Amino acid sequence: MTQLQIRPIAIFIVIAAAFAAATASSGRAAATCTAGVHPFGGTSARTFCGPASATVVVGGKTLHFSGGTCERGAAYVAVNIGTVVLGTTTRQKPDYFGLVVGKAPLIGGTPAKSDGTYKPQVLTANHAGKGYAILHSTLQLQANRTRGTFSGTPYGSTSKVTGTFSC
């Protein structure tokens, strides 16, 4: 893995860890979901449960994520769905979708206080063992920042990524 590949992942792990400490699961969770930090393949992972969902279309393939959290701070929105691995592991990483847009704790940024078009600080997905750090992305917040659409390019690819999320 190159330094450019590691940097977006490392930044996201720091952000996910901060939100893991501050975010409690909201809404109804699936019966099989247990939110919280737990051991995973020699490191830790954080599982998110709740009503959030997302769809990502990359390379003609549609990926679905459900059962996560949305945190809407005064100047940011953070969405976490599935399980994020918080370190290095030899195990296949579980499915996960995450985004942070606006002026979030620890990372700053342009405030996202209302619906509109923004550049997310983090937009990432992991599905079936394949990770997607989505760069050069734009995100449209809608419905009082409870849902949105996004597009961008995954790192190391020329494919276009599009998608939606809902809290």
pLDDT for 158: 84
SS3 category, 11: helix
What are the angstrom distances between the C-alpha of 136 and each of 118, 153, 159?
11, 6, 12
pLDDT at position 5 over 80? no
Q: Is 76 exposed, middle or buried (0-12, 13-18, 19+ CB in 10 A)?
A: buried
pLDDT for 31: 59
Q: At 20, is the pLDDT very low, low, confident or very high (cuts 50, 70, 90)? A: very low
Q: 121-156, pLDDT tens digit by residue?
A: 999 999 999 999 999 999 999 999 999 999 999 998
Predicted TM-score (pTM) above 0.85:
no
Radius of gyration of the chain (CA): 15
pLDDT for 157: 85
Q: At 9, is the pLDDT very low, low, confident or very high (cuts 50, 70, 90)? A: very low
Return the domain boundaries, the chain. Answer: 3-166
Nearest C-alpha neighbor of 148 from the set 26, 11, 60, 55? 55
Tell me which DSSP letter residue 94 carries.
P
Q: At 8, is the pLDDT very low, low, confident or very high (cuts 50, 70, 90)? A: very low
pLDDT at position 159 over 60? yes
Strand ranges, E, within 23-129: 36-40, 43-48, 52-58, 61-72, 76-85, 96-102, 116-118, 122-127
| Residue pair 35/64 in contact by the 8 Å Cβ criterion | no
Number of other CB atoms surrounding residue 27 within 10 Å: 13
SS3 category, 33: coil
Q: 33-81, pLDDT tens digit by residue?
A: 999 999 999 999 999 999 999 999 998 899 999 999 999 999 999 999 9
pLDDT for 109: 86
